[in-house]
Structure 1
Amino acid sequence: MGDRKTQNIGVSGQPPVDIPPALAPPQKPKRNKFAFACAILASMTSILLGYDIGVMSGAGIYIQRDLKISDLQLEILMGILNVYSLIGSAAAGRTSDWIGRRYTILLASVIFFMGALLMGFATDYAFLMVSRFVAGIGVGFALMIAPVYTAEISPASTRGSLASFPEVFINAGILLGYISNYGFSKLRLSLGWRFMLGVGAIPSVFLAVGVLAMPESPRWLVLQGRLGDARKVLDKTSNSKEEAQLRLGDIKEAAGIPPEWNDDVVKVPKRSRNDAVWKELLLHPTPVVRHILICGVGIHFFQQTSGIDAVVLYSPKIFEKAGITDDTDKLLATVAVGFVKTLFILVATFLLDRVGRRPLLLSSVGGMIASVATLGVALTVIDHSEKKASWVVALAIIMVLAYVATFSIGMGPITGVYSSEIFPLRLRAQGFSVGVAVNRVMSGVISMTFISLYKAITIGGAFFLFMGVAMIGWIFFYTLLPETQGKTLEEMQHLFGSFFKWRSAARELEKNRRVGGDGTGNGQIQMGTTNG
């Protein structure tokens, strides 16, 4: 009975019962502290974007007054960083394959440091636009590389919670930006907004120092033929020697390295050039890659078009429309938004590897639909009332907080987690960069048109529009996105390929996992193709 596990079922006087491993409840995996620390350091890159979003929501009020710019100029200034970040995102995929994930993170922090300093010393609108161009490139690098590195360094059992850390730090950055706005709002007008923007250089300094303590991604090391270095990193970031061996074997297979090659340095088989990768990803994708690309791009598209940047970036204007007129009160209300958003993203990190991606995502988007619809109703009532009833004002504020809470518990973190884990190794950097590019384009569109949008269709109408987009997103997620919880990065492709038959593929994967493995996800998978 060497292949069975003895378990006492707890009935007095009854002998122990032998339970096959496949039927025994899986043991809770240990958390690897080294992988946890690496994920935190890498994810701190995302604080750069968060701080900029948070600080611009308040600084924009004072910049408009000090520089005498129009609403259109303010919209462009607020959202243009997202467009500029496309340059960094486009360059980050190839750069990370060239110099490594670790030094790409360092490069992102250095570029943003320069951009933040330039914004702090800006003297006019044109100077500000140039400064935001520099900062935007750094943000683009950071957005692409942090989730990719975290997904590649994390064991499968905790990949969801660790890969959600970039979103955690985006929210932490937003909160810091809101607090900075409130703290510097009492300074002289021209000095206050410059301090608000310039302080953003401080987190990038700490990040640059922290990067020096990080190891390189084991997947990048394997692609360079440095198996010995990759083995050392995997030994530190895995929960057991067996898991480290399995992870190394998966990476070697994806990189085209024969499993019997175990020298510290090997010659990696010639890989496709970068243009061939783009052809495989965009021009001639297989059914599996096409499904993965649609899911990866779609989740980024709906994250932004559901209106989150409009709420976070323009929260002072939303609160003003709701009836709060004092600047200090508006900025204090935005701090409450930051606290709620950060609190619920922390809750999400504990649920991702327990509840799963799909249940959290669908519940999150459902909550967003309900809260943004109610917010639209409340703002419409306020718009059409001569006297603002206190209960309607309170309802509008509560719905803003409910919206960011429901976003943060699912849609926020899962976007980065999901899109960073589903692409095959050979396409991961470029595939994720496509998703980030779509994310930034749509964020830029929303950020640079929100004031014009609510002037055209009323502020309540704008949120009804976001509600409609979120409803379409919920249908998209329910129909096309498979559950990826607990799957190794190299198993993902078995769940994709047939848009409407992925559920049967998932059941087949789980069935073969139980037959060929130990019930914990660490066994061998015995299966044929499920590409449909």
Structure 2
Amino acid sequence: MADRKVETNGISRAHPPQTSLADFDPQKKPKRNKFAFACAILASMTSILLGYDIGVMSGAIMYIKDDLKCTEVEMEILAGIINLYSLIGSFVAGRTSDWIGRRYTIVLAGAIFFSGAILMGFATNYTFLMFGRFVAGIGVGYALMIAPVYTAEVSPASSRGFFTSFPEVFINSGVLLGYVSNYAFSKLPRNLGWRFMLGVGAIPSVILGVGVLAMPESPRWLVMQGRLGDAKRVLDKTSDSKEEAQIRLADIKEAAGIPEHCTDDVVQVTKHSHGEGVWKELLLHPTPAVRHILIAAVGIHFFQQASGIDAVVLYSPEIFEKAGIKSDNDKLLATMAVGFAKTIFILVATFLLDRIGRRPLLLSSVAGMIFSLATLGVTLTIIDHSHEKLTWAVAICIAMVLAFVASFSIGMGPIAWVYSSEIFPLKLRAQGTSMGTAMNRVVSGVISMTFISLYKAITIGGAFFLFAGIATVSWVFFFTMLPETQGRTLEDMEVLFGKFHKWRSANAMLKSNKTKETKGSDVNTNAQIQLRTQG
């Protein structure tokens, strides 16, 4: 009897026709791997550094401006420049993570941010404060790049969407902590309040540095170093079953160019597995699949930030002031509501990613963003042209800001990091992800550093109409260019890409082939059941 094919996590593999009655029982969904869950949590905590900085700066700039006598342009630059500084960290982190490993790169990110937070807390003038922002920005860049890469590489396929959404969860948690810190220290004298707000950011980085030491190294990085024995031990702990661990190890060895029959604990790995020549394969001579992957990863990060999320999060006190809220205390309370909405809906998103897939969540999320941005633009324009306070319009503005951050957090926010960290081939993953992160930070920096100037030039309502237009273009891009990746192993992603907008027909062909293989398997299985019954 011919071997039957069994599909495991999206990969069809041949196995001998050894069956038992247990084989015909309905498959149970594997329990959540607690060890992989703990690793994902610890790695993703690095993202709290960026979230805290964004959240705390939204309130701190009001007090820094008065204390250091800064202009509005200087405040724009101060608030947004960390995103451009983080580019250095993002680019260097790709190389560093291939050199010293994913785990120690996370420790390094925490150490650099700790130094930056201390410098900002003790800043005596604008120049000193900008230097602290520079150091903290490098740490943020490291954290943004390495957290999703490590989490994707350590996660079993059944939970990868759930686990790789954790960095966005911690960004949102950091934003909320920053808002709470603003409110807590706002009662202090102005020259002390903002220093405590910024300096307290050093505490999470200390906790992070200690906790990460308990994590294992990424199994994919271990294979790239030829440490097959160590990689196998990590995969045994982070997979849903021993069989899945063996399949994952075989796939990673194939991607790293190591023969499948090689079982030595330590093997010699070819030089290109350590990162050399990666930029050439990414940018100069990419295959159609790699080109499609790169466009998808860079594009999703561009649209994530170009739709204005950092402008809303960073300048929410300004937006609420334009809506008619004048009290600093009320503005900070409304801003805290934004943080709570972001955090609650990102938690909802984590449980939906592996249940309903990336595409449905992403497209629904962007549709909600378009509606809330357009409504916010209309309402702010009405308020701008009114000579009296319109309570109903203020209420709609607050509701639409909350609706926008909620829509963003349930799809666009986490999926940008999940998607870009899982679609690159193993050898290109670190540098490819760093390119997506770099685009994310460039656009975020431009939006953050120009938002005040932008709304003064085209009105506050016009700024949100612009963001709504960009979000509309992003919906079309996602619908045509991004295939579904739910349930695929990391090594099996490349087959989805390379057809660009025609990927649906290629995907349908793959599904058709797998359906035929499954039906063939079912015929063999039914024949065996009949033989058992007759016997």
Please give the range of the TM-score, normalised by the shorter of the 2 chains: over 0.9
1:518: how far off?
Answer: 10
Residue in structure 2 matched with residue 494 of structure 1 by the alignment = 495
Residue in structure 2 matched with residue 69 of structure 1 by the alignment = 70
AA aligned to 1:456 is: A
AA aligned to 1:237 is: T
How far apart, in 1, do the equivalents of 2:272 and 2:120 lie? 42
Residue in structure 2 matched with residue 476 of structure 1 by the alignment = 477
Query: Is the 2:365–2:407 Cα contact (8 Å) retained in structure 1?
Result: yes
Query: Is the 1:3–1:21 Cα contact (8 Å) retained in structure 2?
Result: no
Higher deviation after alignment, 269-278 or 100-109: 269-278
Query: Is the 1:22–1:517 Cα contact (8 Å) retained in structure 2?
Result: no
How far apart, in 2, do the equivalents of 1:428 and 1:517 lie? 32
Residue in structure 2 matched with residue 238 of structure 1 by the alignment = 239
AA aligned to 1:96 is: S
Residue in structure 2 matched with residue 170 of structure 1 by the alignment = 171
AA aligned to 1:117 is: I
Higher deviation after alignment, 259-268 or 195-204: 259-268
How far apart, in 1, do the equivalents of 2:262 and 2:276 lie? 28
Residue in structure 1 matched with residue 296 of structure 2 by the alignment = 295
Confirm whether residue 213 of structure 1 aligns to residue 190 of structure 2. Answer: no
Residue in structure 1 matched with residue 388 of structure 2 by the alignment = 387
AA aligned to 2:365 is: S
Residue in structure 1 matched with residue 223 of structure 2 by the alignment = 222
TM-score using structure 1 length: 0.92
1:513: how far off?
Answer: 3.7
Residue in structure 2 matched with residue 196 of structure 1 by the alignment = 197
How far apart, in 1, do the equivalents of 2:271 and 2:244 lie? 27
Query: Is the 2:148–2:417 Cα contact (8 Å) retained in structure 1?
Result: yes
Confirm whether residue 358 of structure 1 aligns to residue 351 of structure 2. Answer: no
1:516: how far off?
Answer: 4.5
Query: Is the 1:380–1:459 Cα contact (8 Å) retained in structure 2?
Result: yes
AA aligned to 2:458 is: I
Confirm whether residue 415 of structure 1 aligns to residue 413 of structure 2. Answer: no
Residue in structure 2 matched with residue 45 of structure 1 by the alignment = 46
Query: Is the 1:287–1:497 Cα contact (8 Å) retained in structure 2?
Result: yes
How far apart, in 2, do the equivalents of 1:21 and 1:431 lie? 43
Confirm whether residue 310 of structure 1 aligns to residue 311 of structure 2. Answer: yes
Higher deviation after alignment, 22-31 or 311-320: 22-31
Query: Is the 2:98–2:274 Cα contact (8 Å) retained in structure 1?
Result: no
Confirm whether residue 319 of structure 1 aligns to residue 320 of structure 2. Answer: yes
What's the secondary structure of 2:271's corresponding residue? coil
Q: Which whole-Å deviations, capped at 9, do the CAs of 1:185-231 have from their partners, x for residues lacking one?
A: 01000000000000000000110011011000000000100000000
Residue in structure 2 matched with residue 251 of structure 1 by the alignment = 252
1:115: how far off?
Answer: 0.4
Higher deviation after alignment, 298-307 or 262-271: 262-271
1:273: how far off?
Answer: 6.9
What's the secondary structure of 1:60's corresponding residue? helix
Residue in structure 2 matched with residue 399 of structure 1 by the alignment = 400
AA aligned to 1:80 is: I
Query: Is the 2:225–2:274 Cα contact (8 Å) retained in structure 1?
Result: no
Q: Which whole-Å deviations, capped at 9, do the CAs of 1:320-364 have from their partners, x for residues lacking one?
A: 001110001100111100000000000000000001000000000
Q: Which whole-Å deviations, capped at 9, do the CAs of 1:223-263 have from their partners, x for residues lacking one?
A: 10000000000000001000000000000000000000011
Q: Which whole-Å deviations, capped at 9, do the CAs of 1:163-195 have from their partners, x for residues lacking one?
A: 000000000000000000000001000000000
How far apart, in 1, do the equivalents of 2:519 and 2:319 lie? 53
Query: Is the 2:32–2:159 Cα contact (8 Å) retained in structure 1?
Result: yes
Confirm whether residue 86 of structure 1 aligns to residue 87 of structure 2. Answer: yes
How far apart, in 2, do the equivalents of 1:273 and 1:249 lie? 19
1:504: how far off?
Answer: 1.9
How far apart, in 2, do the equivalents of 1:457 and 1:346 lie? 35
Query: Against the structure 1 CA distance between its residues 359 and 284, is the aligned structure 2 distance closer, same or farther, given a 3 Å change threshold?
Result: same
How far apart, in 1, do the equivalents of 2:207 and 2:218 lie? 21
Query: Is the 1:22–1:515 Cα contact (8 Å) retained in structure 2?
Result: no
Q: What is the RMSD computed on CA atoms of the aligned residues?
A: 2.1
Query: Against the structure 1 CA distance between its residues 241 and 47, is the aligned structure 2 distance closer, same or farther, given a 3 Å change threshold?
Result: same
Residues 323-472 of structure 1 mapped to structure 2, 5 A cutoff: 323-472=324-473
How far apart, in 1, do the equivalents of 2:438 and 2:182 lie? 28
What's the secondary structure of 2:56's corresponding residue? helix
How far apart, in 1, do the equivalents of 2:506 and 2:222 lie? 32
Query: Is the 1:372–1:464 Cα contact (8 Å) retained in structure 2?
Result: yes
TM-score using structure 2 length: 0.92
Query: Against the structure 1 CA distance between its residues 453 and 507, is the aligned structure 2 distance closer, same or farther, given a 3 Å change threshold?
Result: same
Query: Is the 1:92–1:140 Cα contact (8 Å) retained in structure 2?
Result: yes
1:422: how far off?
Answer: 0.2
What's the secondary structure of 1:329's corresponding residue? helix
AA aligned to 1:146 is: A
How many residues are paired up? 506
How far apart, in 2, do the equivalents of 1:514 and 1:230 lie? 33
1:24: how far off?
Answer: 8.7
Residues 40-189 of structure 1 mapped to structure 2, 5 A cutoff: 40-189=41-190
Q: Which whole-Å deviations, capped at 9, do the CAs of 1:463-497 have from their partners, x for residues lacking one?
A: 00000000000000000000000000011100000
1:517: how far off?
Answer: 6.3
How far apart, in 2, do the equivalents of 1:303 and 1:444 lie? 13
Residue in structure 2 matched with residue 271 of structure 1 by the alignment = 272
What's the secondary structure of 1:432's corresponding residue? helix
What's the secondary structure of 1:361's corresponding residue? helix
How far apart, in 2, do the equivalents of 1:22 and 1:459 lie? 62
Query: Is the 2:82–2:133 Cα contact (8 Å) retained in structure 1?
Result: yes
Query: Against the structure 1 CA distance between its residues 379 and 23, is the aligned structure 2 distance closer, same or farther, given a 3 Å change threshold?
Result: farther
What's the secondary structure of 2:487's corresponding residue? coil
Query: Against the structure 1 CA distance between its residues 23 and 54, is the aligned structure 2 distance closer, same or farther, given a 3 Å change threshold?
Result: farther
How far apart, in 2, do the equivalents of 1:28 and 1:60 lie? 49
AA aligned to 2:129 is: L
How far apart, in 2, do the equivalents of 1:501 and 1:61 lie? 50
AA aligned to 1:207 is: L
Query: Is the 2:256–2:273 Cα contact (8 Å) retained in structure 1?
Result: no
Q: Which whole-Å deviations, capped at 9, do the CAs of 1:266-292 have from their partners, x for residues lacking one?
A: 112332674521011011111000000
AA aligned to 1:187 is: L
AA aligned to 2:155 is: S
How far apart, in 1, do the equivalents of 2:211 and 2:317 lie? 34
Long gaps (5+) in structure 1: 5-19, 520-532
1:501: how far off?
Answer: 2.0
Query: Is the 1:22–1:518 Cα contact (8 Å) retained in structure 2?
Result: no
How far apart, in 2, do the equivalents of 1:220 and 1:44 lie? 20
How far apart, in 2, do the equivalents of 1:384 and 1:370 lie? 22
Query: Is the 1:22–1:514 Cα contact (8 Å) retained in structure 2?
Result: no
AA aligned to 2:305 is: Q
Q: Which whole-Å deviations, capped at 9, do the CAs of 1:424-453 have from their partners, x for residues lacking one?
A: 001000000000000000000000000000
